[in-house]
Structure 1
């Protein structure tokens, strides 16, 4: 749902008054975006930059119109803040409604250490210097949310890879399906589900967030970015009644089982341990083994570490295991487990550590993550900020920065900036004048209202590969 439909109104109210607050003779304003710090509690080398391209494409496709200006004038007049109608009409007549700014950004999917500029914005028309900071609201929303979700998802993949290296003989590509997006219903909006779900797909290929698939196709050229399987919910199981629990399970196998097929069945509606040991492990054991596919048992309540450990032990008893070359047990391929309740990066590590201690490989389990993936993040998770760092007045550039004595962590960078990288020094933000254009990783992606560079999800995934 796009309420504003114009960048003039996709803004914090106070921005409308800022045109009159700059020094006399202001011509150009240069600002940057960065993730200042890691406040997530996760072990991370930086953030996965992602999510700018959808916004820039929307801006390119919807130039400002006379009706936008007329509506904005009316809204701000009633709202009680000034509106620079003359300036926006200048943009309409002189630039055909296209924003006269240059936006540079690091390539999406790049993992950039904290406290480095990942986006640089500067106006290109000295008579329209206010749009640089005016765009902060919409730019920050595009960058902080998608990048934060992509980073949390990426952090989980690092955890999974650690236990894969320790316990598994499976191909590393199996990790692509170890974390499934369960977050659509817990997201704050359809747009959040699409953007956040798409950010998760930077790292994984399992999702139940259909809007993310549509967005990945539309904005990143990936015809089908993720996959899912038939799965039960409690209503479809409990509708059979407690006495019909085993019949409900048998129906799932009958409807969706078969050679090479996977079917997930929530099994904790009454007693998950009884369900695994007696119903799946005895009454339906032959059907599970004979169908030629894989039953994925889903516990959905209780302490995830203890419940998963016990469910796996019962499944191993019922269906048997093989020991891989690293000395860890892998269930009969007819059975696997997925945990989707209480899942976050910390519980995933705890579950995998317990399973490894019990002698089980990571092969046996996948995870579904909902609110902790798409909703339990905010701008402060990585202290995202957009700040002005340089201003040109009367033809001369000068530094702009803040340095509050009450919080040194909120100090900002100064000057026109570049993002450099080399193998010896790594990533670092440097003065623009000290960096050759070819070495600046902040490349133009949007100039004067037009996209000048695009990327695909396949390219983003390659850059973000753990």
Structure 2
């Protein structure tokens, strides 16, 4: 029987930061030059689907994993695990952290402010450890810290989708204020874990305020100091319609109006459990007066078929029964009803639907999108090609540049030196620079127009920046106009 039996309870699996790493990291303290005394690493997006990234999510990771101290029982658990697992274990180094630093990791983390939109190929986060006894921590934390790729990538995709939707609102609508509610998070059931739902769901909320991913809203509230980060409305699912039986489908719809439709309310009803076109006819005849009398906005949800053609057919049917008005852009806005498309929505289909609506003369007001797997799950670390690399090491008292430059793939070339990100205060341009400056000193370079764009967010167990989601949203959308 192995000496290591594992922690008890699922939640305990994630409670030991020493185990929140890759197996081979445990042996790396023996592989560095013996005179190594400090290390510096950085995180960047090396390109990918989007040319700019919206930085978000580091605060969640730091609060969850780095603000509590390492304890002696954690060291004992990790020692037993790695011994049984086939890896060496630096017990002396971890004991040093407990005895010298009261269990708090002696690392300094700097980052661009969350909500910053930064071109790829720039440093976003730096990690430095200058305690000679545990300098290797700057690399040991890679596994945990690099997972920031996930919230950054979700936030980046949502930010770009917001731009797309905004362009169509500006072109076809008189009301751009509806933008924050135009892309609803349907992703909770399609992700790999509850933690993914929380992290990815929170990241989406940098750009939007509609979500059915409860854990994402809870995470945004908890980690980013919000009272309520997003909102939802009563909505039917197939079971609440089909439970009535096909012969009573109209009664199921009538029940939705009776229970939830009030003046100013929004009620969403999936309407393709059997025959979408027959349901649209019922909505436009037998149930039309009930919808009008309620004072609510009825949102019809088709959930099958080709998204672009189904949306257009639904809009035309609703226009024929409820009518529409022309706005100042010459586009039709439906009376009393809207459509939510949540099936088959991804960045490409979303834009295709909006373009088709525009060509058909319908304003973007008429539709809300729900996105599930494509929002929170159909991305990976290579979507934006995230990497964390060591870029400098101190040998004795002297810092030396470190980098990789594989002849077989120049795109994997890493940066060298102790890095920071500069911003030009006149143009807003970013650039990565190597500066022989202390982390929190003025980092102006090439004259007075360049300032350091990074800030120290964590130092030796202390969270130094605790930003709210509202601040992040303001930063992310400051230049929308």
1:454 aligns with 2:466: yes
- SS of the equivalent of 1:61 reads coil
1:153 aligns with 2:147: no
TM-score normalised by the chain length of structure 1: 0.96
1:347 aligns with 2:349: yes
- SS of the equivalent of 1:381 reads coil
Partner of 1:3: 13
- SS of the equivalent of 2:430 reads strand
2-side partners of 1:24 and 1:81: how far apart?
20
Give the Å deviation of 1:275.
1.0
Residue 2 and residue 113 in structure 1: after superposition, are their counterparts in 2 closer, same or farther (change >3 A)?
farther
1:195 aligns with 2:199: yes
1:299 aligns with 2:302: yes
- Post-superposition CA distance 1:6-27 (Å, at most 9, x none): 2210000000000011112101
Within the candidate set 284, 287, 302, 1:281 is matched to 284
TM-score normalised by the chain length of structure 2: 0.94
Partner of 1:169: 174
* Structural mapping, 1:254-269, within 5 Å: 254-269=258-273
Give the Å deviation of 1:384.
0.3
Partner of 1:82: 88
1-side partners of 2:66 and 2:94: how far apart?
16
Give the Å deviation of 1:436.
3.6
Aligned Cα root-mean-square deviation (Å): 1.2
Q: How many residues align?
A: 458
Partner of 1:26: 36
Q: Unpaired segments of 5 or more residues in structure 1?
A: none
Give the Å deviation of 1:380.
0.4
2-side partners of 1:424 and 1:234: how far apart?
52
Within the candidate set 26, 36, 49, 1:16 is matched to 26
1:331 aligns with 2:337: no
2-side partners of 1:236 and 1:31: how far apart?
52
* Structural mapping, 1:26-175, within 5 Å: 26-38=36-48, 40=49, 44-141=50-147, 143-170=148-175, 172-175=176-179
Give the Å deviation of 1:124.
3.1
Give the Å deviation of 1:412.
0.1
2-side partners of 1:99 and 1:237: how far apart?
54
Q: Unpaired segments of 5 or more residues in structure 2?
A: 1-10, 445-450
- Post-superposition CA distance 1:248-287 (Å, at most 9, x none): 10000001011111110000011111211x2101110111
2-side partners of 1:235 and 1:448: how far apart?
51
Do the aligned residues in 1 keep the contact of 2:37 with 2:130 (CA within 8 Å)?
A: no
- SS of the equivalent of 1:73 reads helix
- SS of the equivalent of 1:402 reads coil
Within the candidate set 387, 396, 399, 1:397 is matched to 399
